[in-house]
């Protein structure tokens, strides 16, 4: 380093920027001069004396010079980011921390409220009275396997069942009645009974299959609420794919610091390629446009805090989604068929 430039570096590292501005006009010109004279190696952007201009210095070093060593140091400042040979992953003890990446305004129940419920494993407020017609909403949605199961259920409870019919009985009973006007329930006609709404409702309403109706209501309620919760969970995790490889997320038991015998569960979520590097470079670049010096990089502590700050200042969009009003009917029907055998 040439002797005549030593005083500039010393003044800079002491935080005496205003003695340099008359010669260089602004911080950008100082950094360009130091780079040209190969002096930046003597500048520590994390020195407390440089705190007011830390992000501008880092922006020049990272986004102009693409300095890999300083980038590694920046990553090391974020306690929730862990480097590996193949990239980085987020490491947190409480998944609910992720909710701060979601939008918290615009409606009574916000995307952040829902994300907190998902990540905190809270129970959703269940929907009551999910159906007023279990025939059309459950029986008509059964697959062939469950139809066979329902046939067996009915025949087991109404073994050798018959009834003398008149005009008050379902038309199907009258059509299948013998010459004496008696309808006999058999393995040959039970499928037709199931396929006839009037006949099935008669058997349930008149108490012949009194427990069946209640079980069908329970099936629909649980299927509906499970489908809604699944849709919400998938939506929230889908939003996280903006930043992470969600499919590779896992819980890992890690020894407590200073106590190798006690394990603490940590949630580990791999970042998408280049996400950590790009977000750090974006932060140091965008923070220079905010017009104040309250956002020094080494005050952030975590990647989540950094992104929350970017989002709060409007430089990164919040994760957000439309909260569905109803469960997806296709998923409800899927769960109805999966649950049916557990109830009937």
Does residue 323 carry a pLDDT above 70? yes
Question: Which pLDDT tens digit goes with each residue over 131-157?
Answer: 999 999 999 999 999 999 999 999 999
CA distance 246 to 338: 26
Please give the average per-residue pLDDT across 286-300, as a whole number.
Answer: 80
Please provide the average confidence, as pLDDT, over all residues in the chain: 92
Tokens of 179: 């010459």
CA distance 227 to 330: 9
Question: Which pLDDT tens digit goes with each residue over 23-63?
Answer: 888 888 999 999 998 888 889 999 989 888 899 999 999 99
- Residue 140 pLDDT: 98
Question: Which pLDDT tens digit goes with each residue over 62-110?
Answer: 999 999 999 999 999 999 999 999 999 999 999 999 999 999 988 788 9
In a domain, 181, yes or no: yes
Range of the domain at 158: 134-227+333-343
* Residue 194 Rama label (left phi>0; alpha psi -120 to 50; beta): alpha
Does residue 294 carry a pLDDT above 60? yes
- Residue 257 pLDDT: 67
In a domain, 163, yes or no: yes
In a domain, 219, yes or no: yes
Cβ partners under 8 Å of residue 284, min gap 6: 55, 56, 58, 59, 62, 63, 74, 297
Q: Contact, 311 vs 79, CB < 8 A?
A: no
In the chain, the number of structural domains is: 1
In a domain, 233, yes or no: no
pTM of the model as a whole:
0.85
In a domain, 222, yes or no: yes
In a domain, 7, yes or no: no
- At residue 250, the 3 state secondary structure works out as strand
Please give the average per-residue pLDDT across 212-232, as a whole number.
Answer: 96
Does residue 340 carry a pLDDT above 80? yes
DSSP collapsed to 3 states, 191-208:
HHHHCCHHHHHHHHHCCC
Tokens of 342: 């557990």
Strands 259-270 and 250-256: antiparallel
Q: Contact, 251 vs 268, CB < 8 A?
A: yes
CA distance 27 to 49: 14
Please give the average per-residue pLDDT across 265-272, as a whole number.
Answer: 95
In a domain, 211, yes or no: yes
Of residues 133, 101, 137, 134, the one with CA closest to residue 119: 101
In a domain, 204, yes or no: yes
């Amino acid at each position: 380093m040439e002797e005549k430039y030593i005083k500039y570096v010393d003044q800079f590292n002491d935080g005496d920027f205003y003695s340099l501005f008359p010669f260089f006009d602004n911080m950008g010109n100082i950094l360009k001069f130091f780079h040209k004279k190969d002096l930046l190696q003597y500048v520590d952007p994390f020195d407390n004396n440089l705190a007011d201009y830390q992000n501008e210095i880092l922006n020049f070093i990272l986004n102009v010079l693409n300095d890999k060593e300083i980038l590694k140091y920046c990553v090391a400042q974020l306690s929730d980011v862990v480097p590996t040979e193949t990239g980085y992953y987020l490491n947190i003890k409480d998944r609910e921390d992720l909710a701060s990446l979601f939008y918290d305004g615009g409606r009574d129940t916000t995307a952040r409220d829902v994300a907190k419920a998902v990540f905190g494993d809270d129970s959703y407020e269940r929907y009551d009275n999910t159906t007023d017609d279990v025939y059309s909403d459950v029986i008509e949605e059964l697959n062939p396997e469950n139809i066979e199961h329902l046939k067996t259920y009915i025949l087991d409870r109404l073994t050798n069942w018959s009834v003398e019919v008149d005009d008050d009985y379902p038309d199907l009973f009258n059509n299948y009645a013998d010459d004496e006007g008696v309808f006999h329930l058999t393995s040959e006609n039970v499928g037709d009974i199931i396929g006839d709404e009037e006949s099935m409702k008669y058997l349930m309403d008149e108490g012949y299959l009194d427990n069946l109706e209640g079980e069908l209501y329970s099936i629909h309620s649980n299927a509906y609420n499970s489908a809604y919760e699944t849709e919400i969970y998938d939506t929230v995790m889908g939003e996280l794919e903006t930043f992470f490889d969600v499919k590779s997320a896992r819980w890992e038991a890690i020894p407590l610091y200073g106590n190798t015998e006690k394990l603490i569960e940590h949630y580990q979520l791999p970042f998408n390629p280049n996400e950590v590097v790009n977000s750090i470079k974006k932060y140091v670049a965008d923070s220079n446009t905010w017009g104040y010096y309250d956002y020094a990089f080494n005050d952030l502590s975590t990647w989540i805090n950094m992104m929350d700050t970017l989002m709060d200042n409007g430089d990164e969009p919040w994760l957000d989604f439309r909260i569905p009003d109803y469960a997806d009917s296709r998923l409800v029907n899927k769960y109805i068929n999966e649950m049916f055998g557990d109830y009937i």
